Amino acid sequence: MNQRVLDTIERLGNRLPDPALLFVWALLLVWVLSALLSPISFEAVDPATGQPIRVVNQLTSQSLVNFLTRSVKTFVEFPPLGLVLVAMLGVGVAEQAGLIQAGLKALLKVTPKALLTPALLFVGLLSHAAGDSGYVVVIPLGAVMFAAAGRHPLLGLTTAFAGVSGGFSACLIPAGLDPLLQGFTQKAAQIIDPTAAVNPLCNWFFMSGSVVVIVLVGWYVTDRIIEPRVASMKLDGTDPPQALTPLSPAELRGLLVSLAVLGLMFLGLAIWIIGWGDPWRGKNGQLMSHDAPLMQGIVPLLFVLFLVPGVTFGAISGSIRTHRDVIQAMSKSMGAMSYYMVMAFFAAQFTAAFKESNLGVLTAVNGALFLQKLNLPPEITIVAIILMTAVLDLLVGSASAKWALLAPILVPMLMSVGISPDLTQAAYRIGDSTVNIVTPLMPYFPLVVVYAQRYVKSVGIGTMVSLMIPYSLLFLLAWTLLLLAWWTLGLPLGLGASYTWPR
């Protein structure tokens, strides 16, 4: 992509208000639109209720009272907030104790500099198996890792962000998202055929193969497009990168013992799950289902898995002497999150109002109905679903929320023209993933801006969007072409999957 175009996007984007105020403006827009559209009767039907969609006026006296009385609960229950803060308590101890820096020193010794980019992308994609934890672990570590290797920290941050978020569905290991989406897909398919069954891993083979494409495309974008762009950005933030010194004998001992402790913790957890694993399983008996305690407990587990080795390393290396040092490390990590908490408050209020107004439901359903009326050929229909999902992703960030709305419309619609639910779901996942990294309304986008401002104070929404657009566009193009090629070659999408549905 032309650098002048990206410069223009950056300038225009940075003229937008502070991200926190952007959510305030978005909230006000939702209020006004809901008031204007609430008197209108729409033909679109909510797939969840079977009733015509009605926009709920958020400026009525009752709605405003509800908004005010629920605002604290809305903030406290904002899903990304708890994940970020709890995980950062453990990560903060490991970082302040020096464990993360010591691990990076050792890792950089065995990772050729030329392979640093694909390695980080692969780790970002692998993090999908642990839900959203990559946002609070992999992305900031990517910046530190690149800085330690003598490259710009924003380059590592954008690379990690691309892997964690832009390639969100691509993963070698089945993740909680697989059964979550499958549940909506199967229920929608049963509208046409009550006996229809969709395997939770119906997209596994394709998503595993997608890892190779995302890594290769991301590698090209990082090294050829983004690196020249960030090279001139002055490092003037509060957390300037520091050159890594060789591991001292105490650090080496601490690292080895900490890794041994971490290994024992994983072993103990594995024995617990295998030997007495029923409490860890979901209602369907699976460990990887969305409602399984193992998946629900990923964040507390991350807290413990960073905290214990971090304290161990600090005690051996001498960076932690008393329990007060541990508490101080946690406090410092929370201090760094103060700006994010401000943004999270306003983001939570906007998200709640947008949901209550039904504007998101209306947009998604009308988009699907428009696609249905076009009656396009199968290949073009699949591409259209990908593009429509990508556009909707700018407004509705949650993968499961969008699919809960779209599946009851798209899956039966495409089954009626001979396209299987498995292929429809795969197309949806491509569009849902690739636009995450360029929408400021995505819940974790403000967090990434906060990470970037540690190194370059001037980073704003426009800066991040301009850095991530090349990833987004090329991921979207390459991933779409991969699906069409996979389909043409007849390669299996996943377990028990098909491309066609008998009419």
Residue range 405-411: average pLDDT?
A: 77
Note the pLDDT tens digit of each residue in 220-259: 999 999 999 998 888 887 766 665 567 888 989 999 999 9
Question: Do the beta carbons of residue 198 and residue 176 sit within 8 Å?
Answer: no
For the record, the structure tokens of 119 come out as: 């390695």
pLDDT in tens, 17-72: 776 787 788 889 989 999 999 999 887 787 667 788 889 999 999 999 999 999 99
Count other C-beta atoms under 10 Å from residue 270's C-beta. 11
> For 282-294, what is the mean pLDDT?
71
Q: What is the pLDDT of residue 288?
A: 62
Highest mean pLDDT, choosing among 5-19, 257-271, 328-342:
257-271
Query: Quick one: what percent of the chain has pLDDT higher than 70?
Result: 89
Core vs surface per residue 34-65: b (16+ CB within 10 A) or e = bbebbeeeeebebbeeeeebbbbbbeeeebee
Count the residues in the chain: 503
**In which residue are the tokens 């900490």 written?**
258
| pLDDT at residue 9, rounded to an integer | 64
- 452 is written with which tokens? 């970037």
User: How would residue 2 be classed by pLDDT, with cut points 50, 70 and 90?
Assistant: low
C-beta of residue 151 within 8 angstroms of C-beta of residue 223: no
Q: Which of 48-57, 88-97, 285-294, 449-458 has the lowest mean pLDDT?
A: 285-294
Tell me the three state secondary structure of residue 74: helix
Distance CA 341, CA 347 (A): 10
Separation between Cα atoms, residue 10 and residue 450, nearest integer Å: 17
DSSP calls for 417-468: TTB-HHHHHHHHHHHHHHTGGG-TTSTTHHHHHHHHHTT-TT--HHHHHHHH
Cα separation, 411 vs 427, whole angstroms = 11
Is 43 or 139 the better-scoring residue by pLDDT?
Answer: 139
At 476, the pLDDT band (50, 70, 90 cuts) reads very high
| Rounded alpha-carbon distances, angstroms, from residue 427 to 161, 383, 387, 483 | 22, 7, 9, 8
Q: Which of 233-237, 322-326, 369-373, 483-487 has the least mean pLDDT?
A: 369-373
* H-run or E-run covering 452: helix 445-453
